[in-house]
Every structure is written in structure tokens, then in C-alpha cells.
Amino acid sequence: MTKIQINGREVEADPKQPLIRACHDHGGDVPMYCYHPGLTPVGSCRICQVEVAAAPGQPSRVVAACRTPVSEGMVVSTDTPKAHDTRRECLEFLLKNHPLDCPICDKAGECDLQDYSFNEGQGKGRSSEPRRKLEKRKSLGDVIVLDEERCILCSRCVRFFSDVTKKPQLTVEGLGSRSVINTFMDKPLEGNYQGNLADICPVGALTSKKFRFQARVWNLSKTLSTCGECSRGCSISVEALRAKEVKRLRPRYNAAVNQWWMCDTGRHAMAPITRPLAPEGAVLGGRLRGAAVRGYNGLELADESAATALAADMLAAHPGALLVVSPFATQEEATTALELARALKATPHFVSPAANNLKDDLLHTGDPCPNRRGLTELGFAPIEPAAALAALAKAPAAVLAGERVLEILGHEGLAKLPTKLRLVAYDVETSDIPALDVVFPVPTHVEKSGHWVNVDGHRGVLNVAVPPPAGVRRLDANLAQLARKLAATPVGS
Amino acid sequence: MKDFPKYLLSRVGLPESHTLRTYRAQGGYAAIEDVLKKPWTPEQVIGVMKDSGLRGRGGAGFPTGMKWSFMPDITKDPRPRYLAVNADESEPGTCKDRVLMEKDPHGLIEGCLIACFAMRAKAAYIYVRGEYRLSYNRLQAAIDEARAAGLIGKNILGTDFSCDIWMHKGAGAYICGEETGLMESLEGKRGHPRPKPPFPAGSGLWKSPTTVNNVESIFNAPFIVKNGAEWFKSMGVPKSTGNFLLGISGHVNKPGVYELPFGLTARQIIDEVAGGVWKGRKLKAFFPGGSSTGLLPASMADVVMDHDSVKAAGSMFGTAAMIILDETASIPQVMDVTARFYDHESCGQCSQCREGTQWLHQIFRRIAHGKGSMADLDLLVSLSNGMAPAKTICALADAAAIPTLAAVKHFRHEFEECIRLGRDPLRQDTQHAPELHEAHA
Ligand SMILES: Cc1cc2nc3c(=O)[nH]c(=O)nc-3n(C[C@H](O)[C@H](O)[C@H](O)COP(=O)(O)O)c2cc1C
Ligand code: SF4
Ligand code: SF4
Ligand code: FES
């Protein structure tokens, strides 16, 4: 560690990191555009200027903090008039051609240009020249759209591809004030990591086609969570409009798991968490609104305690039940499922679909089971959907539990199960499965707390980002209740 | 004017001056032969270069021998090392390196060999301005001749010194003359200058130790090695030694490239070397060293043309490319054209430079077309102070700001006149370039 002074305080700085990191770590408020901790620093935007002297009493000068190495004894001031002036000048240049269309810009509210201008800028512009007229909505592929006028040419997006995915796709085209960002040969962007561009672009130049005009960001609540699309379990922030409607999933820095990034599969996995409810009074055609039992006219909504009692009776009367949980089951849910397994004298399984072809050498593992490692550590055995269906066809009874367990087993296969099977399920939604006797609704992973264990053993946290629909109880509570009931009416009695 | 010894252009008038035969007949390649066969140590070569006081001819006037000594100790740092010769010559007004490359390419090659020997460089890369076709062809032919004669390649002149020389053609960007932009371009990338540190001597071409020198700086080396530091110091003034190539253009009777010792005044050069201001007119102003150096008014023409004196006068010696403006020249128009150049050539990385060069150009353009306001003049000064000094990655932003500050300082009255009248009273019907940004309209 290198000892330096920042704003009058002696601090320790990491000699491998540029000065701007030390400033940020020790409370110095230094703006940045081209610098991003996950990308090679280029020192081009010049906004991060701070005043530096080699030692106390030495003459000081203004330098770009993101390209300045720390050196023993260096005296740094982030807050002097000279530093502020230099940054203000720089901002004025950056705003010279900026369209200032904040009222219609998705980035407004989380835009570094807006924020720093507010902090440091002068209220009034001095340019009367016409602003640059450029392409306002240039499609860069399926994920991202570029507004050339808003671009401040920080080149973060260019470096994202050269540094992170290692497959360069973007470049600066043209010279000087005629520079624009473009893909090579105008080809659309490719790959599973394009969405990150909208996050790292410090302004509203690169925006997400899916999120465009969906919400003003200041109306979004942000909840720490974990992505469920593969066993990497990237740390994410679930962002919901007025804490009700999930609008956007974004990566959240986690040094051990995903750094600053996430893949587009995870980012765009909105369907499973924004499913509409089934029509009022109905069981099918959307998310379950409450427990349902099989009546004369198929599945019918029912009182939950009655449904639990029925399930317990059925399972008690038909020993040898199978227990299969979803790969989305949290450690907390799986722990109560183990209680149930003991009551049922069943071997606990989790359904483990085959690896998909999304595996890459950055984040995606290709394994669609976010909690494989946690479930395995708890003693659950993986079972493939086909094998599970075959076992179900022969079983007297079964409990299938957890978010999307039916979907992963396959509705088509489930529909063919013999009706003599006594089947109890816990899921977000069901289809018309003739063998299904009792079904309970569950929350999605953005509607509950808990955690998963990722491929490398890191705990990924889940929090309640949006409330579950009325009448939907936690799965662990439901399973615990069933286990208690079964314990009271021993299986086989 | 007193007679003085000449060496830089001593061969250019000879028939077939670009061939090995002529060069050899004039004692060419004797310096490298002496260095290799005597033999000299690399440190001795650097020593004589340092003692000579030669200052770089690429614009900044940095002592060449000192620059060479910055290369890391080979016993501690075994990376390959390179010399890059800056032949991008694109500063408006500058046209001196071209004469050397076209007329005396072997002189540059011998210089490269000496420099590579001194810095233990594996190879020299000569980065030639793309438009300089004849320079490129002549140099390439000379390299081929020298290679065939055993002067380039493995075991040069039968010694264990090996060195290669390669050429690279630029594609018309001024910024590729900036030393780190040049290196990026040589590596096949966009010519975006690199922030320093690291300096080229620590991490240059392909992250290896590299020295970048101007053509004329390198061209001086064989003469210094052959004739010694004392000989070199006997020319010029104490802190600007040797002769330099003057490129003089604009409103003079005899524009051209001349070899001169340091120490003459600007007025002497204009009147005695370049035949005086043309058409019997009076001098109004001059750029002493290319368009990036601050414009000086006629009243300052008695400045001595050496690095330190021109600096003391508030400008820069630069590349000794004097641009002469007579009394009919309109300074607002001159600045419109100058600012347009920097707007066009900024690489666009740094916010201040990308936006500032465009902004300065827009303002100058308005003023020159009678659409300026008095507030514009203070804005020009304020913007220039936001762009320089040393606020950006490279000095192009400074190169745009410096002449702006000088023009407003010395010729404020002329700008004010244009603004007051709503037109430029000195406007001449010059052909005007199309609107720069219309491509985006
Ligand atoms: C924008 C810009 C353009 C430059 N163009 C040239 C050039 O065309 N030729 C040149 O020799 N030096 C040029 N330079 C200076 C080089 O960066 C470098 O200082 C020089 O080549 C060093 O050579 P010297 O030490 O032999 O003078 C330029 C500098 C800047 C900032
Ligand atoms: S598009 Fe965004 S990230 Fe890319 S250079 Fe422009 S401002 Fe930077
Ligand atoms: S100062 Fe201008 S030319 Fe130099 S690196 Fe910055 S933007 Fe490019
Ligand atoms: S953040 Fe340091 S120069 Fe851009």
C-alpha cells in the first residue's frame, strides 16, 4: 500500500490502481466519464481532474486522476478551485453539442452528465453555435439503440467489447468533432452481452430497446437480488416501477461473481417474473391466485387449509411418494422440503434440465439450475425431466414443489401421467394436468427472500422486490405446514 | 548577410543526389563505418550527441542526446527497442523534411543506423506522411540500395551490428505526427495519442522502449559523429546549436527551404533570405514556427530566431516554418483557416479538444464573415484557456489554443473592426472550402 494524502487526510492507496480509485475510496468526489473500473483506463474525457503535488509544499498541477499512478507522499486535492474550474471547463465543452433532450431521455435521473453538470456546471451555456445534428435512433442490433447526438465519445462501449468480451465490435468512426460510434461495417451487434452497453454508457447515447420509454428511473425501486437464468447467479438489481411492476434487471457489482456485468439472457428474463394472473375465479390461464383442488369440473379454487388437509390425507394414504423440487428452490425452501421428505420417507430430488447452449467463457455456465450447488449440498439428487416423468408414471403419489417445476418437467409429459397418481404441486402456474389433485401457488424469486448457492459456492441473495399476489404464501411455510400435518397423520396409517 | 558553413543541404543540389553512388562519393556512410569499426560504444555516440547541444527539430526543441539517454539500460531491460522517425510533416507551413527525404534519403538512413546503434535499437520505422509519395519512393529505393550494399540488415559492414529499417505510409492525419499517435498508427490502430506516462522510452511501440525523433534531428547525427560536438557548437547560438532548415512561405518574394544558423532575426530572414515581403508591401505578422506557434506582429520582427528568444517573445520556434503575412492579409480570415485546420485534425478523444477546436473555428468563422459579437473575443480567450496548457492528452489542443490567444492579443483591433462593420474590410475573394459539418446536416 502507498501512503498518500487526499484532501488533508493520510490514506493508504492501492499502488496497482489509478489515483481516481483512491479518491473514490476515501471520499473524494471525482467525476468520471471515460474511466470505468472494469475497463482499461484511457484518460480521454478529462473530467476527472484533481490537483496533485508530488509532496507537501511542492508545486501542484491539475492531472487526470484516472491515468495518474499513486506515488508515495503525493498530496491530492479534489476540491480546490483550480480542480473545480478545470472540470467545469471540461463540462462546458462536453455540453457544447449535447442535445439536452433530458425530458425525453431514458438516462435522465441516472445520467452522469446530468448529475455532474448539476454539481459542477455553470447554469448558462455560452455557445450560440448550432448543435451537431446526427442520427438520433440508430439501431445497433436487437438490444441497443444509439443516439449519436447524445454520445460524449468516452469510448467505454468500444472498450467493453475489446476488454470484456474480447471480441471488438464497436469503433469510433471519423475524426475530431465529426467522430461517431459505429459497429464495424455497420453490422448489427452480436453476442449475449450487449445489454451491458446501456449500463456503462455514462449518458443516454446507448439505451436498451426493451427498457426504452418504459419508466422514469426515479420511479424505480431497486432491490438487491440474484439472476436465476444460470448457475452463475449474477448479482443483480431488480428495478420495479413504484415497487410494483418489474421493469428492468441490471447487474450489480460483485467482485467474486459477475463484476459489473450480466448476460442478455438473464437481463431479459422478464417473462417468468411478470406473468399475468389467471382471470378472477379461474385456475388456468395465468398465475395461480390461490390453492386449487380437483373437483367434478376439474381444478377449482379452494380454501388453502382445506387443500393442505386434503393433500396430507392423500399422501398419508398412498405411501411411497416421490418428492421433486424445482432447481429454483432456495436453500430455505429446500430445507423445509427436507422435513417433508422425512415425513414422506422420500428421497429428495430436484429436476435438472440438460445444459443449454448458452455457455460462454465470460459468465453464462450453460446450466439452467441456479441453485444446483446448494441443493446438491443439502442432499437433493438431480433428476432429468424425462427420468422424473418416467418415475412419476409408476409412483403412487408425488409432491412437485417450487417455481416453474411443472414447466421444467414439461406440461406435455405431465398431461400424460396416469390419473391414479396422487399428485400435489406447488408452482406459479399450472396447466390442465389430469393427474393433478391439489396445487398451491408460490411466489416468484423476485417476490420472496432467500438464497441460492452458485456454481462456485457463493451465496446469492434474493429479496422481495415486488409483493406476491394476494393469497400467495411462501413455499417454505406451505411445505412446513404439510410436513407437520403428515407428521400428525403418519404415512401409511 | 555573413557567409556561414552549410552541411544539411550540402548534397541536395548534386546530380542524382538521392542515389547511393552520389552519397558515397560525398563521404556518405563514413560516419557509421567509423562508429562500427573503430569501434565506438553506444554511450560514446550518445555522449557526443549530448555535447553537441542538438535540439529536436520536430517542434518542441527537446535535446536529442538527452532523449536517447532515456532509453532503459539494456542489461536490466532486455525488451527489443525501436527508433521511430517522424516524417509525418503535416504542421501547416512545414515542408523541410520533405527536401531531405527526396534529395538526400541516404543521409537519413545513415542517421537511423547511428541512432539505432546508440540506443541499441533493433529497427527503425520511418513514418512518412501519406501525401509524400516521392519521399516514400526515394527512401524505399535508398533503403533497398543500402540493404543490397550490406548497410541494412544482419551484420552491417561485417560487424556484429544488425539493424533493420522499415517504412510506413501515413493516411493523411496530422495527429499521426504526434509521437504517441504515430506509434498507435504504426501498430495499425487509429492514431489516437496515448496519455503519458508511460513515456515512449518506457513503453512505446508494441510496449517496448521507443524513441521518436524528427527526420531533421536524425539527419544531423552523422554530421555530429563525423565532425564532433565542438564543430556543431561553433554554429548557431549557445543554447540552439547547429544549423536548421527554415521553411518560409506566404507573402515573401522567395519562399522555400533554406539552411540557416540560429541567431538571425526574423526580419533578417524575411528580408535577406526570402527576398523581402512581396509586391513591395509591408509586413503585418508572421507565424515563427508553423501554424501552432503564436502569431507575432511586425513590431516583433526583430526577435532572434532561436528556441529561447522566440519563446521569450511569447511564441515558439516550432519547426522553423515561418508563415509571412503582408499588410493586406486579414487576421480574422487567417485565423478562420487556421482554426479550421485544428477542427479538422483533432483526433476527438479529449473533450476540450474535440469540442473546443470546433467551437474556436465556428467563432472565427462567424467573425471573419461579419457575424461576430464583441463577447466572442473574450469567449475565444476563455475557451483557449480551458483547452490549454497541458489539459489534454496531447498538445494538439494547445496548438489550437496558442495561436488563438496570440491573435486576439496582438490583433484584437482587427477582430473588433470586423465585428463593428459587420464585414471584413480586408476580405479577399479567396476560394472557400465547403462548410465543414454539412455532412451531418
Ligand atoms: C499534433 C502534433 C503533431 C505533430 N506533428 C509532427 C510532425 O509531423 N513531425 C514531427 O517531427 N513532429 C511532430 N510533432 C512532434 C512530435 O510529437 C515529437 O515531439 C517529435 O517528433 C519529436 O522529435 P524531435 O525530438 O526530434 O523533435 C507533433 C506534435 C503534435 C502535438
Ligand atoms: S455511446 Fe456512450 S459509452 Fe459509447 S462512447 Fe458514446 S457516450 Fe461513451
Ligand atoms: S488533445 Fe486533441 S488531438 Fe490530442 S489526444 Fe486529445 S483530442 Fe486528440
Ligand atoms: S475519467 Fe479520467 S479522463 Fe475520463
> pLDDT digit string (tens) for B102-116?
999 999 999 999 999
Binding-site residues, ligand 1, Cβ < 6 A: B 56-60, 62, 64, 67, 86, 88-91, 174-175, 177-179, 212-214, 217, 394-396, 399
CA distance A130 to chain B (A): 9
Contact B359 A172 (CB under 8 A): no
CA distance B331 to chain A (A): 21
Q: So what's the pLDDT on residue B433?
A: 46
Average pLDDT over residues B235-241: 96
Contact A177 B346 (CB under 8 A): yes
Integer Cα distance of A482 and B399 in angstroms: 80
Sheet containing strand B243-250, strands side by side: B256-261, B243-250, B321-326, B283-287, B296-297
Contact (Cβ atoms closer than 8 angstroms) between residue A5 and residue A56:
yes
Contact A133 B441 (CB under 8 A): yes
To test the contact with chain A by mutation, choose from B351, B365, B440 the residue with the greatest count of A C-beta atoms within 10 A, namely: B351
Binding-site residues, ligand 4, Cβ < 6 A: A 32-35, 43-48, 64, 66
Residues of B in contact with A177 (CB under 8 A): 343, 346, 348, 354-355, 357-358, 437
CATH domain B20-234 topology: Rossmann fold (3.40.50)
Integer Cα distance of B290 and B318 in angstroms: 6
Compute CA distances B79 → A76, B73, B196, B208, whole Å: 34, 10, 20, 6
Q: Which of A96, A133, A153 sits opposite B348 (nearest CB)?
A: A153
CATH of B237-326, one of 3.40.50.720, 3.40.50.10490, 3.90.1010.10, 3.10.20.600: 3.10.20.600
For A43, nearest residue in chain B (alpha carbons): B195
- Ligand 2 atom closest to the Cα of residue A146 is 1
Confidence grade of residue B429 (pLDDT, cut at 50, 70, 90): low
Contact B348 A152 (CB under 8 A): no
Per-residue pLDDT tens, chain A, 493 aa: give them.
999 999 999 999 999 999 999 999 998 889 999 999 999 999 999 999 999 999 999 999 999 999 999 999 999 999 999 999 999 999 999 999 999 899 999 999 999 999 999 988 778 889 999 999 999 999 999 999 999 999 999 999 999 999 999 999 999 999 999 999 999 999 999 999 999 999 999 999 999 999 999 999 999 999 999 999 999 999 999 999 999 999 999 999 999 999 999 999 999 999 999 999 999 999 999 999 999 999 998 999 999 999 999 999 999 999 999 999 999 999 999 999 999 999 999 999 999 999 999 999 999 999 999 999 999 999 999 999 999 999 999 999 999 999 999 999 999 999 999 999 999 999 999 999 999 999 999 999 999 999 999 999 999 999 999 999 998 999 999 999 999 999 887 666 5
Average pLDDT over residues B44-60: 98
Average pLDDT over residues B281-299: 98
Contact (Cβ atoms closer than 8 angstroms) between residue A93 and residue B397:
no
Confidence grade of residue B94 (pLDDT, cut at 50, 70, 90): very high
CB contact residues (below 8 A), chain A span 10-49, against chain B = 42-47, 49
Contact A93 B379 (CB under 8 A): no
Tens-place pLDDT, residues B174-195:
999 999 999 999 999 999 999 9
Ligand closest to B177 (CA) is: 1
Contact B344 A96 (CB under 8 A): no
What is the β-pairing status of strands A2-6 and A75-77? parallel
pLDDT surpasses 90 at B2: no
Q: Is the dihedral of CA B163, B167, B168, B172 positive or negative?
A: positive
CA distance B403 to chain A (A): 19
ipTM of predicted assembly, 2 dp: 0.92
Confidence grade of residue B430 (pLDDT, cut at 50, 70, 90): low
Which single residue is written with the C-alpha cell 441460492?
A: A452
CA of A487 to the centre of ligand 2 (A): 61
Kindly list the structural domains of chain A, giving each domain's residue range(s) and its CATH number in brackets, ordered by start. Answer: 2-94 (3.10.20.740), 292-488 (3.40.50.740)
To test the contact with chain B by mutation, choose from A44, A52, A128 the residue with the greatest count of B C-beta atoms within 10 A, namely: A44
Task: Count residue pairs from A and B with Cβ separation < 8 A.
Answer: 103
Contact B354 A47 (CB under 8 A): no
Domain residue ranges of chain B, discontinuous segments joined by +? 20-234, 237-326, 331-421
Nearest 5°: CA angle at A271, between A268 and A274?
115
Which single residue is written with the C-alpha cell 444509439?
A: A146
Binding-site residues, ligand 3, Cβ < 6 A: B 175, 193, 346-350, 353-354, 392-394, 396-397
CA of B307 to the centre of ligand 4 (A): 34
Mean pLDDT, chain B, rounded, equals 95
State the amino acid at position B220 in one-letter form: N
Integer Cα distance of B395 and B388 in angstroms: 8
Ligand closest to B178 (CA) is: 1
Contact B346 A126 (CB under 8 A): no
- Ligand 1 atom closest to the Cα of residue B218 is 26
CATH domain B331-421 topology: de novo design (two linked rop proteins) (1.20.1440)
Which single residue is written with the C-alpha cell 507575432?
A: B296
CA of A63 to the centre of ligand 4 (A): 10
Question: Could you tell me if residue B387 is left (phi over 0), alpha (psi between -120 and 50 degrees) or otherwise beta?
Answer: alpha
CA distance B195 to chain A (A): 7
CA of A221 to the centre of ligand 2 (A): 26
